[in-house]
Structure formats: C-alpha cells, structure tokens
C-alpha cells in the first residue's frame, strides 16, 4: 500500500510560530487511513489538517474503543530531524490495539507514514533548545452502532504540533500526592494499554490533588492498595543511596513506557544499577524519611525526566533531597536528551533520521 500525498500548495503552508504551547497548535497536514472488515486498511493519505465527520452512533463515542500514542521529532543542530524509537511506539500501539479489540497496523508502514508526515511539515519542527514536534498517532472505532461489541470500521490518524521545553523555567522538582483511596487501573484491566479511558479515570483525583497544591498523583495497585504503580501520566523511579535506580516491575496494570525502558537501558552504561521490583509504598515512604532514597523522578515522553521534590501521603509531606533536583535525574535527563537531539552518539540504535 502506498500513501497518497494531497499537500497544501507551498504558498498556503504555515510554519512553527515564535510562541507555542503543547497541544494547542497543529501543523499543516495529517495522516489518515481507513479500516473496513473484510477489506482491511485502505485509502492511506497525507492531507491538509482538518476536522473529521463522525456518525453520532460511532462506537468510539459510546464504548470508548480508542487508542493513541505519543512521540516526538527533534531538530538537530545541523538542521536535520530525528525521531526517537518510533518502532517501539508502533509496537506498543499494536499491543494497545490487541487489548481494545481493534485491528493492528503494519508497524513499518506506520513508521513510514510518520517520517513522510514530518518531512512534509518539517517547517513546524522548532529549533529552540528543548523544543520538539509532538506526534500523536491514534485510532478510533467509527462503526455506527449502539449494540455493545467490537466495531467493524476504524480510522487511524496522525496529527502533529510544536511543543516547547517541558521546563521553561528550569529543571525543577514537582510535588506528588499518593492516592491511598482511588485507583487508576487493575491487573487484568486495560492499564497497560494506552487508551483514553485510563486517563479520564485519573482526572477526578488529579483535579482534587491540584486544589491541594500538589502537581501529580502517585497511583497504587488496585488489589491491595500497597504497591507503587505510576505517577500522573508517567512511570516512576526511586534512587537509593545515589546509585541504585528502582522502578515498579510491569504488572499488567502499568503502562510500559518507552522512556522508562530507555532509561533502564541507558543507566547501566553510566554506572548506575537498575532494578525492577514490587515496591511497597509504606517501605518507600520510610526510605524517603530515613534518607535512604536520595532522589525520586517520573519519566515519560513529555518531560523525559521529571524530578520529584516532595511526596505526600495521609496528610504528611516527605521532602526528598531538600526539595532539589538530584544529580542522577539531571544526568539521565541530559544524556537521553543528547541522544534524542543527535548531540551524542546513539549506541542503542534508537534514533531514526527523517530525510
């Protein structure tokens, strides 16, 4: 299958504005393809960015058959553009599709569509330090039906938009509140799939925590309410004695983050030990109080690394590293960003150049 290019005339195309913020401005074009049962994927095209027309009974609107991904394109100092681990994102997209009973996409074709779309809209890739072009692949069920069951038709699309540095005021720690009552996901559910319902389920607590003055929510397992899972929309890591990085083992209710996986592979090359384990929140808080845990940080596509300066649980605040960013978080952030932007060698083969 080939991708039909229906591009705007050069004179009608835009470019990255001088000021921009995440998720509010979008590039000129988008990729779309359609799936119909019995026919498979067809009508792949890159076309001008615009609205969709959906039947009011489209299954996505009633039963939330929907998945998405997130990755970035980075402007190198020589003016070229890099993608970071797009194959890993495509593989996770298909795992999410399997869990949500949706058709898989051809991973290679998906990556090629990303490359062609970014190449066409390369003027939208910002060149500012720490900035990038955010890429959002998604799939929705479009079959008009109110009966419960998997849909027969789907729309796979990709949109992009410029994203500024996650830390415009500096690499500063955030505060995290441990949710000891409400849960994000349960093992056997859809917690490890990147589907919108997981994020909608987190909003109630996130808004409540924000009103209390905290930045993020730390979620615990839904069965015992004891074991650490995720923080906000990120994975979480704990640094012991400045050298051992521990993170919750994937359990079936934790999203397998691409950044998480990258840091676990990168950290040993920098002299750190890594361990995936079942982490009891009571032991974690005790280790923070004793000073054995010297740093805490979240990790994900948006922030790469997000240091945590304070964690709160059951009405008590626990400060970490004096509320300051620690050296491990800083080094991992700098080293991974250097690979993404092409400022350092890529011994892992993670970077894909966009022609």
pLDDT at site 23: 87
Q: Which residues contact 1 (CB under 8 A, 6 or more apart)?
A: 41, 42, 44, 106, 109
pLDDT at site 165: 82
Looking at domain 4-165, its CATH architecture is: 2-Layer Sandwich (3.30)
Q: What's the rounded Cα separation, in Å, for the pair 133 and 111?
A: 15
Decide: pTM greater than 0.75: yes
pLDDT at site 312: 98
What fold does the segment set 174-340 form as a domain? D-amino Acid Aminotransferase; Chain A, domain 2 (3.20.10)
Residues of the chain by 3-state class (helix, strand, coil), percent to 5:
25, 30, 40
pLDDT at site 166: 79
In the chain, which residues fall in CATH 3.20.10.10?
174-340
pLDDT at site 196: 95
- Distances in whole angstroms, Cα of residue 200 to Cα of each of 45, 57, 191, 309: 30, 20, 12, 26
pLDDT at site 171: 85
**Ranges of residues in the chain whose predicted pLDDT is under 50:** none
pLDDT at site 355: 81
Secondary structure of 160-227 in HEC code, one letter for each residue: EEEECCCCCCCCCCEEEEECCCCCCCCCCCCCCCCCHHHHHHHHHHHHHHHHCCCCEEEEECCCCCCE
pLDDT digits (tens, 9 = 90+) for 42-70: 999 999 999 999 999 999 999 999 999 99
- Structure tokens that stand for 341 in this block: 């932007």
pLDDT at site 169: 67
pLDDT at site 283: 98
In the chain, which residues fall in CATH 3.30.470.10?
4-165
Based on DSSP, count helices (H) and strands (E) in the chain, helices before strands. 7, 18
């Amino acid at each position: 299958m080939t991708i039909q290019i229906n591009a705007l005339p050069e004179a009608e195309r835009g470019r990255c504005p001088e000021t921009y913020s995440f998720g509010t401005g979008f590039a000129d074009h988008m990729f779309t393809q359609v799936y119909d049962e019995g026919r498979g994927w067809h009508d792949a095209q890159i076309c001008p960015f615009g609205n969709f027309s959906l039947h009011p009974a489209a299954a996505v609107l009633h039963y939330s058959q929907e998945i998405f991904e997130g990755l970035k394109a980075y402007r190198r100092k020589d003016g070229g553009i890099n993608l970071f681990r797009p194959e890993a994102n495509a593989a996770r997209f298909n795992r999410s599709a399997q869990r949500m009973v949706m058709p898989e996409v051809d991973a290679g074709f998906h990556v090629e569509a990303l490359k062609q779309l970014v190449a066409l809209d390369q003027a939208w890739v910002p060149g500012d330090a720490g900035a990038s072009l955010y890429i959002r692949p998604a799939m929705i069920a479009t079959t008009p039906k109110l009966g419960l069951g998997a849909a027969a038709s789907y729309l796979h699309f990709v949109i992009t938009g410029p994203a500024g540095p996650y830390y415009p005021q500096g690499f500063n720690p955030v505060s995290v509140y441990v949710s000891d009552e409400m849960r994000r996901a349960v093992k056997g559910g859809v917690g490890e799939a990147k589907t919108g319902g997981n994020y909608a389920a987190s909003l109630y607590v996130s808004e409540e925590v924000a009103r209390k003055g905290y930045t993020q929510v730390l979620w615990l397992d839904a069965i015992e309410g004891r074991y650490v899972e995720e923080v906000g929309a990120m994975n979480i890591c704990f640094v012991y004695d400045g050298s051992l990085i521990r993170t919750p083992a994937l359990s079936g209710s934790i999203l397998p983050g691409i950044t998480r996986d990258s840091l676990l592979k990168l950290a040993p090359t920098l002299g750190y030990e890594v361990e995936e384990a079942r982490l009891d929140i009571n032991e974690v808080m005790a280790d923070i109080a004793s000073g054995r845990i010297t740093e805490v940080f979240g990790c994900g596509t948006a922030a790469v690394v997000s240091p945590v300066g304070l964690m709160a649980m059951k009405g008590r605040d626990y400060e970490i590293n004096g509320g300051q960013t620690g050296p491990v978080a800083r080094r991992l952030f700098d080293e991974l960003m250097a690979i993404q932007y092409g400022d350092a060698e890529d011994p892992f083969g993670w970077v894909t150049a966009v022609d």
